[in-house]
Amino acid sequence: MNSAEPDISQLQRWRHELHRFPETGFNEARTADFVTQVLELLGLEVHRGIGGTGLVASLTVGDGPGVIGLRADMDALAMSEDAPGRLHASQNPGCMHACGHDGHMAMLLGAAQLLVQRRDFNGTVRFIFQPAEEHGRGAAAMMADGLFQRFPVDEIYGAHNMPGMPMGQIATRAGGIMASEDNFVIRITGRGGHAARPQMAIDPLVIGAEIVLALQTLVARSVDPGQPAVVSCTEFITDGIRNAIPTHVTIKGDTRSYDPAVQALLERRMRELCQGICAAHGASCEFEYTHEFVPTVNWPQCVPVAAAAARAVVGAERVDDQVQPMMISEDFGAFLRVVPGAFVFIGNGEAGSAGGVPLHNAGYDFNDQLLPIGARYFAELARQRLPSSSSSRN
């Protein structure tokens, strides 16, 4: 292999700059400007405005017909960073990279730099920077804008850092690796009244509490125990005050599963439970259920490619190619519905370590030690999937 290695200090500078100026989905204008500048300095032509703020750059070496896509997500979360003393903390109030997309971008930029330097593959690599992953809209927007018609790929690969996994361990599996996500909103209308005279009211708060508890029976008593499913109520909103029973209660949350039949079952049983409980108490109910993320299902023929590249970078003992599926969701699944590919987790650090703070936590930070590992992993995918005569002899 060419002796060129990632410039760790450069990768850190890129990552910290992206971390300082986070932007939410479809608002990643400054982010796209920065990524474009780096790619153009590497000598790549960048195509922008794909699905909003998305962009693609391609690198062709030799005359090989193969084309692979390497993808990083760009958006941040609408939450405030809580990291006193962190020099690269967010300078955009109410917004932070709490999921590590700053690191994902820096890793892919590092891979582009390595591949430009090494040129140890034969074919075309497309560097795909996707907006709006957090809400599951960016992949669809890029595809609706002709992503794979304008920039066709044979396969596509992605990665996500994972707190709780040992730093630098890489894990994947064939088939479903991450779940779908569906969102629900339950609006209960009762009759408000004085807290001292509850017999005059229809208390939607008590009804809502009964619904929250009843929903927890769905997975235990309606879903086949062999099918993964999660139902989580995450918001409980009322219009009451300390001495007044409310009239309105809104419950929000999400469900996770892998099987479309389970999705349909959860939606039907949730609606039946909510409407039935409300009717029993003389209240009315509105129930909404929306599909946000499809499951992320790795193509079996692509997982050995991802695992081989991982072993070449971190060693066989640090690669798990049969990891247990997780109930988190990832917009990359939308790409895998139309293009073969595979997704991997890269350990950000175990609990209690610097990289062990959970995703979507105000104190989270991407582990900079991962940057060269991720850059080498993405570059190795190109080398293994698009071998040149020289690299195949190594």
pLDDT, tens digit (0-9, with 9 covering 90-100), for 30-42: 999 999 999 999 9
Average pLDDT value for residue range 94-100: 98
Average pLDDT value for residue range 127-149: 98
SS3 labels along 129-147? EECCCCCCCHHHHHHHCCH
**Do 49 and 122 sit in the same domain of this protein?**
yes
In a domain, 2, yes or no: no
The model's pLDDT over 51-82, given as tens digits with 9 standing for 90+, comes to 999 999 999 999 999 999 999 999 999 999 99
Average pLDDT value for residue range 196-214: 98
The model's pLDDT over 280-293, given as tens digits with 9 standing for 90+, comes to 999 999 999 999 99
The model's pLDDT over 355-365, given as tens digits with 9 standing for 90+, comes to 999 999 999 99
**Do 270 and 353 sit in the same domain of this protein?**
no
233 is in an annotated binding site: no
When the pLDDT of each residue in the chain is averaged and rounded to a whole number, the result is 96
Phi (first) and psi of residue 59, to 5 degrees: -130, 120
In a domain, 143, yes or no: yes
pLDDT at 6: 87
CATH number at residue 146: 3.40.630.10
pLDDT at 390: 63
**Do 320 and 289 sit in the same domain of this protein?**
no
Q: Residue 170 above 80 pLDDT?
A: yes
28 is in an annotated binding site: no
The model's pLDDT over 367-376, given as tens digits with 9 standing for 90+, comes to 999 999 999 9
Would you say how long the chain is, in residues?
394
Burial letters for 19-29: b for 16+ Cβ neighbours within 10 Å, e otherwise?
bbbbbbbbbbe
Look at residues 260, 277, 293 and tell me which one is the last residue of a structural domain: 293
pLDDT at 4: 75
Catalytic residues: 75, 133
- Residue 239, domain extent: 180-293
The model's pLDDT over 226-264, given as tens digits with 9 standing for 90+, comes to 999 999 999 999 999 999 999 999 999 999 999 999 999
Strands (E) located in the chain: 46-50, 54-61, 67-73, 123-130, 155-163, 170-171, 175-178, 180-189, 193-194, 229-238, 244-245, 248-257, 284-293, 296-298, 319-320, 341-349
**Do 58 and 174 sit in the same domain of this protein?**
yes
CATH number at residue 256: 3.30.70.360
Burial class (CB in 10 A: 0-12, 13-18, 19+), 41: exposed
**pTM for this structure?**
0.93
C-alpha span between 21 and 15 (Å, rounded): 10
pLDDT at 393: 45
C-alpha span between 100 and 162 (Å, rounded): 9
pLDDT at 3: 55
C-alpha span between 123 and 153 (Å, rounded): 11
Look at residues 252, 268, 293 and tell me which one is the last residue of a structural domain: 293
**Do 160 and 24 sit in the same domain of this protein?**
yes
**Do 55 and 126 sit in the same domain of this protein?**
yes
Look at residues 272, 293, 314 and tell me which one is the last residue of a structural domain: 293
Q: Residue 88 above 50 pLDDT?
A: yes
C-alpha span between 337 and 182 (Å, rounded): 17
- Other Cβ atoms less than 10 A from the Cβ of 119: the count is 16
In a domain, 1, yes or no: no
18, 97 contact by CB (below 8 A)? yes
**Do 187 and 287 sit in the same domain of this protein?**
yes
292 is in an annotated binding site: no
C-alpha span between 239 and 237 (Å, rounded): 7
C-alpha span between 165 and 355 (Å, rounded): 9
Q: Residue 392 above 70 pLDDT?
A: no
336 three-class SS? helix
